[in-house]
Amino acid sequence: MTPPGEAPGRALPLLPTRGLVLFPKMLAPLFVGRGRSVRAVERAFGEQSPLVLSAQREPGVEDPGPDDIWPVGTKARVLHLSRLPDGSMKVLVEGEERVRIVRYEATEPCFLVTAAPLSRQRRPTARTRSLARRVRDVFARYVDLHPQLPDEAQDVVQQTEDPDEVADIVAAHLQVGDEEKQALLAMESTEQRLVALLESLAEEIAALDLEQEIGRKVQERIERGQRQALLREQLRVIRDEIGEAGGGEDDDEGYRGRLAALALSPAARALAERALRRLSELPSLSSEVAVVRGHLDTLLGLPWGRLAPSEVDVAAVARHLERTHHGLRDVKDRILEYLAVCRLRGADQPATILCLAGPPGTGKSSVAQSIAEALGRPFVRVALGGVRDEAEIRGHRRTYVGAMPGRIIDGLLKAGVDNPVVLLDELDKLGSDWHGDPAAALMEVLDPAHNHAFRDAYLECEYDLSRVFFIATVNDVDAVPATLYDRLEVIHLSGYTLTEKLAIARRHLLPRVARDSGLRPGDVRYGRGALARLIRGYTREAGVRELERCLRRVARKVARRHLESGLALPVTVTVADLADYLGPAPWED
């Protein structure tokens, strides 16, 4: 043996391998097809000399250079060679010893390298001997558990004494990735190799144990299922014999009646029929009953063509918006224009979705609700803020535990008609991550070319969304995904002036706040300048949300004082009283 570090003998041909890390003492058949590799084998075989096999770092590299090849490989002999008609060859090699490639002498016509044997322990120590024994024992258990390893593998290892050889043979048989094998091949210290092997073996055995355990459980479950099916069949025969109807059928009748009355699509009807059949087969205590019922309830709970009156009365909407919202001249005009177009298009969906954009508290959600009221259609709010999972829109497949339909289908369940006003609230807060892209799912919902056949994963059939009246709201138009933005007809609500806020407070907020606090409108009055002072000193906002909150706090205090200390109503809140009701003003007037 050439001592390491010293210039070794002549250069040897090198064969880069893919998907194979050859160890000493190991026999391996391989196909050689690449030109340089064929020439390397021919040279070694012709000269009756050994060659070096070393694995490629990336098996995908077709024409590897020295940097693509691991520096530690195995010197081997070609025992057998047969040429195939296409110029490639099949060879049988046997590993001899581990070597480190010291230098590449040539790359043409084949790789020629000088290689030095890896240093090895001359004489085994007590510690390596005992480690080797442990490896042999653990390996025996591994072979027992592993379906693909022949028992002979064990015999060979049992007969090997030398710790390094034990390591080579066990490593060769270990069914782990090439990277891990390469690491085991390149490790210099025998002790380290044996320890690493013990670790790998322990991990592999744990995985195999788990696999076996799962296999056993699956088997048990299948057997239990078959047993149950058999018992159910027997039960049915017994019931027939004694002339008793099966359980749960009253319930089925309820479903059947509803199914008959609804205008389900053929696909949905087939699904419902199947679910009903499943329900009658399942034992009533089975946990699957709830799952099947949940699906049926969703299928049969959808409106399936039921519609609210769909006439768009533009003048009625105008009157209602005027009643419920102060100001917003441009906004109201644009909404009415949009509705007029909808009306003229009749059943056709508008090409764009109405989108109200503006800072918080400027009335976006409440304008949308007013539109729904004026149209006489149910109003459903779908909060999109923080929705990251595509399944929130498109539904979870029913194989998931706790699966649910997506929010759109859920909205229709709540609305009870196919043409509700659905508010897609906070469209700009839509997220996305590895759970898929909810914005893309929403595109399908909004696209008139596709939404008559929207597929919800939970429902498992198509549903027609083409008659839904969608309205979206956003705070920040720039944050809306570009693809969605193209579909929107954006109307901006910019915020209110002090005068507008005063009018909104007097006409809309104060009466509502009083009612909500159990008072009569007019029970809480604001003296000269008090409301303006409240707005300037206690709120900083474009909208009126903070303002409404302050008015509520005042109203609640008034209500409580009225009950507890007999405060006489109506009360007039003056500028001087504000601090008493709301604490010191955060902002200078």
Ligand X SMILES: Nc1ncnc2c1ncn2[C@@H]1O[C@H](COP(=O)(O)OP(=O)(O)OP(=O)(O)O)[C@@H](O)[C@H]1O
Contact residues: ligand X, CB under 6 A = 325-328, 358, 360-366, 473, 475, 504, 508, 543-545, 548
Determine the straight-line distance between the first and last CA of the chain, rounded to whole angstroms.
95
Task: Provide φ and ψ at 219, rounded to 5°.
Answer: -60, -45
Nearer to ligand X, 291 or 547 (CB): 547
Residue 114 — φ and ψ, nearest 5°? -95, 135
Comparing CB distances to ligand X, the nearer of 93 and 471 is 471
Q: What is the CA radius of gyration of the chain?
A: 39
As a whole number of angstroms, the distance between CA 219 and CA 550 comes to 65
Residue 362: name its binding partner from ligand X, Mg ion, none (Cβ under 5 to 8 Å by kind).
Answer: ligand X
CA proximity to 468, closest of 377, 359, 357, 360: 377
Task: Please give the size of the binding site for Mg ion, defined by CB under 5 A.
Answer: 1
Q: How far is the CB of 334 from Mg ion (least distance, A)?
A: 18
Q: CB 213 → Mg ion: shortest distance, Å?
A: 52
Q: Whose Cβ is closer to ligand X: residue 291's or residue 328's?
A: 328
The smaller minimum CB distance to ligand X, of residues 200 and 539, is found at: 539
Closest CB 545 distance from ligand X, rounded Å: 5
Pick what 258 binds: Mg ion, ligand X, none; C-beta below 5 to 8 Å, kind-dependent: none
CB closer to ligand X, 164 vs 548: 548
Q: Which does 455 bind (CB under 5 to 8 A by kind): ligand X, Mg ion, none?
A: none
Contacts with Mg ion, 357-386, as mask; x by CB under 5 A? --------x---------------------
**Residue 566 region, left (φ>0) first, then alpha (ψ -120 to 50), else beta?**
left
CB-closest chain residue to ligand X: 363
Give residue 579's identity as a one-letter amino acid code. A
Residue 47 main-chain phi, psi, to 5 deg: -90, 5
Q: Which is nearer to ligand X, 179 or 322 (CB)?
A: 322
Q: Are 232 and 281 in contact (CB under 8 A)?
A: yes
- Least Å distance, CB 368 to Mg ion, is 8
Rounded CA-CA distance 342/323 in Å is 22
- Where in 198-217 is the site for Mg ion (CB under 5 A)? none
How far is the C-alpha of 557 from the C-alpha of 573, rounded, in Å?
Answer: 12
Amino acid at 118: L
Q: Shortest distance, CB of residue 429 to Mg ion, whole angstroms?
A: 11
Compare residues 170 and 471 and give the one whose CB is closer to ligand X. Answer: 471
The C-alpha torsion from 212 through 217 and 222 to 227, rounded to 10°, is: 130
| Spatial distance between the Cα atoms of 496 and 507, rounded to a whole number of angstroms | 15
Under DSSP, the state recorded for 146 is -
Q: State the minimum distance, in angstroms, from the CB of residue 179 to Mg ion.
A: 54
Find the shortest distance in angstroms from Cβ 370 to Mg ion. 13
**In terms of CB distance, is 248 or 360 closer to ligand X?**
360
CA 191 to chain centre: 45
Of 49 and 365, CB closest to Mg ion:
365
Q: Are strands 112-117 and 12-17 parallel, antiparallel or unpaired?
A: antiparallel
- 121, interface contact from Mg ion, ligand X, none, CB < 5-8 Å by kind: none
| Residue among 154 and 362 whose Cβ is closer to ligand X | 362
> What's the min distance (Å) between Cβ of 505 and ligand X?
9
Task: Select the binding partner of residue 49 from ligand X, Mg ion, none (C-beta < 5 to 8 A, by kind).
Answer: none
Q: How far is the CB of 422 from ligand X (least distance, A)?
A: 15
Preceding amide of 109 cis, omega within 30? yes
* Full DSSP string of 272-326: HHHHHHHHHHS-TT-THHHHHHHHHHHHHHS-TT--------HHHHHHHHHHH--
**Would you count residue 88 as binding Mg ion (CB under 5 A)?**
no
Using CB under 5 A as the binding rule, the residues of this chain from 23 to 42 that contact Mg ion are none
Q: How far is the CB of 577 from ligand X (least distance, A)?
A: 24
Strands 353-357 and 488-492: parallel
> Which residue type does 48 have?
Q
Say which entry of ligand X, Mg ion, none residue 504 contacts (CB below 5 to 8 A, set by partner kind). ligand X
To ligand X, the closest distance from the beta carbon of 57 in angstroms equals 55
DSSP states of 195-209: HHHHHHHHHHHHHHH
| Residue placing its CB nearer to Mg ion in the complex, 332 or 364 | 364
Tell me the C-alpha distance between 123 and 118, whole Å: 15
Q: Which does 75 bind (CB under 5 to 8 A by kind): ligand X, Mg ion, none?
A: none
Which residues lie near Mg ion (CB under 5 A)?
Answer: 365
